[in-house]
């Protein structure tokens, strides 16, 4: 198949014969804990396109869950990976030195919000970045308690799971949580848990901390950190108002509570700025980064104020964290973001959001709130009216109909469609995605 194809081409029934064989093997050998929405078995990708094992070509509006920021197999990323792999592939950053760590450390110092001095701990996944952030916060403050948000996703390792509050399935069967985390509703202004309007509210979603938690179950002097996604990811691609961040600053300044911004999903250009915090001029104490950081190679970073990351040798490390091949991919990713993809993400994000809002006119009873920043876009599927109840069944049908027509998207939140394409996507491809969505919604509604 030619890597110049820019639009979907479905050639077999789905799944095709080769895919069917692999699905059988998957059922036999692979953990059933993975959550697959449809039977897509990928063979290769280029730009915003992917091809399955039967030669069907799909338009990818998910990017391996917001990871392949620079598109599939970007030649500059592939080149950086192969050059580094031909030098050395691994040498345990925890025990030895190599220049790549310093290069990426310096890059992250400059690229993350705030001009203060920072240090970086390297890991391999988002959950690991969160684990490191939480350990840093505990170590630096010698406090034990944390505050997190309903709807949040921070990973599934046992420490991160204490913060994750997105779906009951993520906790079911695992008993009591490891860490002392109190969850509160996120700033979901269109569906405010306190029944307020954003124009007139007093940020009840955060003032509840001072007004209720601190007076009852959570003494402020025992709180190490608030862990927050600056744009809620898995929980529905929800963008909080600026005053949410002002209130976080207030809590930090008054009580010495650290703010950990989990930018695992929203970071690395996904929202049209390098980090989502920049949209709100918000400077966190610790920031966690993964997913898009290395265009698909496993790498994560926990970036903290230098004075916070003052733990002793041996306090934390990982054998593979800061792998030099992944760092080479990361440095190439930064370069691509800075030389065009951030700009493309802003432009294409606005275009995509406008297109989705346009579709609301055709589906006023089923397409609700369309929200997002850059190419991190959510569109709620609802019942009856644009502010109606979540319609999970219809959302899942739409995902399947899109897949059958060659558009790959996932869901997020209770019933939202999630659009997180590679940042290389262009206008024609977005038009194509909107056309497929239009058809798929009609088909799903009438079935």
Contacts 24+ apart (CB under 8 A), 161-164: 163/130, 163/134, 163/227
Q: Which two tokens stand for residue 78?
A: 């592939």
Strand 180-184 with 145-149, pairing:
parallel
Which residue number, 229 or 380, has a Cβ lying nearer to ligand PLP?
229
Tell me how far apart the alpha carbons of residues 260 and 226 are, in angstroms, rounded to a whole number.
Answer: 6
* Tokens at 414, concatenated: 């209770």
Residue of 407, 386, 389, 385 whose CA lies nearest to 398:
407
Q: Which residues bind ligand PLP (CB under 6 A)?
A: 125-127, 130, 153-155, 229, 233-234, 262, 264-265, 290
**CA-based nearest residue to 423, from 70, 11, 177, 137:** 70
**Which CB, 93 or 276, lies closer to ligand PLP?**
276
Question: Of 46 and 153, which CB lies nearer to ligand PLP in the complex structure?
Answer: 153
- If the CB atoms of residues 108 and 444 are measured against ligand PLP, the closer one turns out to be 108
Q: How far is the CB of 96 from ligand PLP (least distance, A)?
A: 25
* Closest distance to ligand PLP from the beta carbon of 259 (Å): 15
Q: Which C-beta is closer to ligand PLP: that of 126 or that of 355?
A: 126
DSSP collapsed to 3 states, 355-404: HHHHHHHHCCCCEEEEEEECCEEEEEEEECCCCCEECHHHHHHHHHHHHH
What is the smallest separation between the CB atom of 354 and ligand PLP, expressed in angstroms?
Answer: 25
- In the complex, the smallest distance separating the C-beta of residue 254 from ligand PLP, rounded to whole angstroms, is 26
Q: For ligand PLP, which is the closer residue by CB, 168 or 313?
A: 168
Cα–Cα distance for residue pair 355/153, rounded to 1 Å: 28
| Minimum CB distance to ligand PLP, residue 31 (Å) | 14
Residue with Cβ nearer ligand PLP (262 or 285):
262
Nearest Cα neighbor of 76 from 425, 268, 331, 301 is 331
Closest distance to ligand PLP from the beta carbon of 185 (Å): 17
Q: Which residue is nearest to ligand PLP (CB)?
A: 126
Concatenated DSSP letters for 192-217? -TT---TTT---HHHHHIIIIIHHHT
Smallest distance, ligand PLP to C-beta of residue 234, A = 5
């Amino acid at each position: 198949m030619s890597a110049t194809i820019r639009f979907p081409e479905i050639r077999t029934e789905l799944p095709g014969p080769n895919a069917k064989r692999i699905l059988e093997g998957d059922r036999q050998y692979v953990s059933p804990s993975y959550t697959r929405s449809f039977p897509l078995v990928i063979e290769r990708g280029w730009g915003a396109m992917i091809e399955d094992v039967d030669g069907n070509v799909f338009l990818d509006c998910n990017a391996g869950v917001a990871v392949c920021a620079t598109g599939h197999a970007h030649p500059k990323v592939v080149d950086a990976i192969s050059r580094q792999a031909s030098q050395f592939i691994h040498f345990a950053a925890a025990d030895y030195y190599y220049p790549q760590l310093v290069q990426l450390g310096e890059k992250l110092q400059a690229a993350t919000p705030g001009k203060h001095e920072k240090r970086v701990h390297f890991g391999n996944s988002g959950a690991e970045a969160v684990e490191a952030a939480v350990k840093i916060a505990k170590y630096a403050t010698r406090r034990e308690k944390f505050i997190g948000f309903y709807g949040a996703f921070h990973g599934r390792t046992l420490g991160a799971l204490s913060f994750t509050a997105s779906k009951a399935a993520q906790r079911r069967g695992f008993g009591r949580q490891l860490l002392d985390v109190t969850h509160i509703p996120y700033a979901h202004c269109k569906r405010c848990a306190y029944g307020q309007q954003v124009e007139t509210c007093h940020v009840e979603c955060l003032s509840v901390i001072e007004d209720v938690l601190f007076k009852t179950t959570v003494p402020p002097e025992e709180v190490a950190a608030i862990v927050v996604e600056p744009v809620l990811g898995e929980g529905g691609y929800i963008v909080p108002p600026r005053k949410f961040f002002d209130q976080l600053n207030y809590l930090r300044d008054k009580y010495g509570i650290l703010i950990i911004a989990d930018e695992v999903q929203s970071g690395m250009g996904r929202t049209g700025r390098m980090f989502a915090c920049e949209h709100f001029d918000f400077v966190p104490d610790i920031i966690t980064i993964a997913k898009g950081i290395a265009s698909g190679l496993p790498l994560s970073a926990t970036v903290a104020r230098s004075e916070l990351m003052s733990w002793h040798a041996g306090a934390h490390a990982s054998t593979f964290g800061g792998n030099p091949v992944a760092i080479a991919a990361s440095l190439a990713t930064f370069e691509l973001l800075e030389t065009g993809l951030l700009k493309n993400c802003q432009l294409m994000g606005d275009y995509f959001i406008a297109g989705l809002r346009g579709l609301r006119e055709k589906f006023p009873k089923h397409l609700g709130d369309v929200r997002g920043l850059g190419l991190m876009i959510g569109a709620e599927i609802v019942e009856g009216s644009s502010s109606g109840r979540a319609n999970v069944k219809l959302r899942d049908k739409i995902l399947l109909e899109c897949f059958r027509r060659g558009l790959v998207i996932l869901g997020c939140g209770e019933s939202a469609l999630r659009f997180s394409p590679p940042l290389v996507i262009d206008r024609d491809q977005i038009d194509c995605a909107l056309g497929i969505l239009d058809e798929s919604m009609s088909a799903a509604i009438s079935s």
